[in-house]
Amino acid sequence: MAMTMTEKILASHAGLESVQAGQLIKAKVDVVLGNDITSPPAIAEFNKIGRPVFDKDKIVLVPDHFIPNKDIKSAQMAKTLREFAHEHDITNYFEVGRMGIEHVLLPEEGLVVPGEVIIGADSHTCTYGAVGAFATGVGSTDMGAAMATGDTWFKVPSAIQVNITGSMPKYVCGKDVILTLIGMIGVDGARYQSLEFTGPGIANLSMTDRLTIANMAIECGAKNGIFPIDGVTIAYLNGRTKKTYQAVSADSDAIYTRKIDIDLSDLTPVVALPHLPENVKAVRELPEISIDQVVIGSCTNGRIEDLKQAAVIMSGKSVHPKVRTIIIPGSQAVYLEALEKGYISTFIKAGAVVSTPTCGPCLGGYMGILAAGEKAVTTTNRNFKGRMGHVDSEVYLTGPAVAAASAITGRICGPEEMVK
Partner 1 sequence: MILEGKTWKYGDNVDTDVIIPARHLTTADPKELAVHCMEDIDAAFAVNVQPGDIIVAERNFGCGSSREHAPLAIKGSGVTCVVADSFARIFYRNAINIGLPLLELGSDAKKIQAGDTLRVDLAKGIVENITRGEAFQAQPLPGFIQEIAQAGGLVSYVSGVRK
Give the shortest CB-128-to-ligand SF4 separation in angstroms.
Answer: 13
What share of residues in the chain are helix, strand, coil (percent, to 5)? Answer: 35, 20, 45
Q: By C-beta, is 54 or 384 nearer to ligand SF4?
A: 384
* Distant-in-sequence, close-in-space partners of 359: CB < 8 Å, separation ≥ 6: 64, 65, 66, 67, 101, 298, 299, 365
Residues 117-156 interacting with ligand SF4 (rule: CB under 6 A): 122, 124
Return d(Cα 92, Cα 56) in angstroms, integer.
Answer: 8
Binding mask 281-320 for partner 1 (x = CB under 8 A): ----------------------------------------
Contact between 155 and 134 under an 8 Å Cβ cutoff? The reply is no
Return d(Cα 109, Cα 105) in angstroms, integer.
Answer: 6
Q: Strands across the sheet with 293-296, in order?
A: 280-282, 270-272, 394-397, 375-378, 293-296, 324-327, 353-354
Residues 365-404 interacting with ligand SF4 (rule: CB under 6 A): 380-381
Binding mask 195-224 for partner 1 (x = CB under 8 A): -----------------------x--x-x-
Site stretch for ligand SF4 (CB under 6 A), options 10-18, 97-105, 267-275, 345-353: 97-105
Q: Is 232 exposed, middle or buried (0-12, 13-18, 19+ CB in 10 A)?
A: buried
H/E segment holding residue 209: helix 207-215
Q: Which does 380 bind (CB under 5 to 8 A by kind): ligand SF4, partner 1, none?
A: ligand SF4
365 contacts partner 1 (rule: CB under 8 A): yes
Return d(Cα 104, Cα 401) in angstroms, integer.
Answer: 19
49 contacts partner 1 (rule: CB under 8 A): yes
45 contacts partner 1 (rule: CB under 8 A): yes
Spatial CA neighbour of 167 closest among 213, 203, 192: 203
Among 6, 12, 140, 409, binds partner 1 (CB under 8 A): 140
Among 364, 400, 414, 415, binds partner 1 (CB under 8 A): 364
62 contacts partner 1 (rule: CB under 8 A): no
Q: Which residues pair with 41 in a beta bridge?
A: none
334 contacts ligand SF4 (rule: CB under 6 A): no
38 contacts partner 1 (rule: CB under 8 A): yes
Among 13, 58, 65, 223, binds ligand SF4 (CB under 6 A): 65
Spatial CA neighbour of 395 closest among 381, 405, 408, 406: 381
Binding mask 32-61 for ligand SF4 (x = CB under 6 A): ------------------------------
Q: By C-beta, is 58 or 103 nearer to ligand SF4?
A: 103
* Distant-in-sequence, close-in-space partners of 179: CB < 8 Å, separation ≥ 6: 216, 270, 271, 272, 277, 280, 397
359 contacts ligand SF4 (rule: CB under 6 A): yes
Q: Is 287 exposed, middle or buried (0-12, 13-18, 19+ CB in 10 A)?
A: exposed
Give the shortest CB-268-to-partner 1 separation in angstroms.
Answer: 26
How crowded is the C-beta side of 401, counted as CA atoms within 13 Å? 20
Q: Which does 101 bind (CB under 5 to 8 A by kind): ligand SF4, partner 1, none?
A: ligand SF4
Residue 371 per-residue DSSP state:
P
Among 149, 165, 268, 315, binds partner 1 (CB under 8 A): 149
* Distant-in-sequence, close-in-space partners of 377: CB < 8 Å, separation ≥ 6: 271, 291, 293, 294, 295, 396, 398, 402, 403, 406, 407, 412
Among 75, 353, 363, 369, binds ligand SF4 (CB under 6 A): 363
Q: Strands across the sheet with 224-226, in order?
A: 224-226, 194-198, 159-165, 258-263
Site stretch for ligand SF4 (CB under 6 A), options 100-108, 137-145, 273-281, 392-400: 100-108
List of residues contacting ligand SF4 (CB under 6 A)? 65, 101-103, 122, 124, 298-299, 359, 362-363, 380-381
List of residues contacting partner 1 (CB under 8 A)? 24, 37-38, 40-41, 44-45, 48-50, 65-66, 71, 73-74, 77, 121-123, 125, 137-142, 144-145, 148-149, 153, 155, 187-188, 191-192, 218, 221, 223, 276, 363-365, 382, 384-387, 391
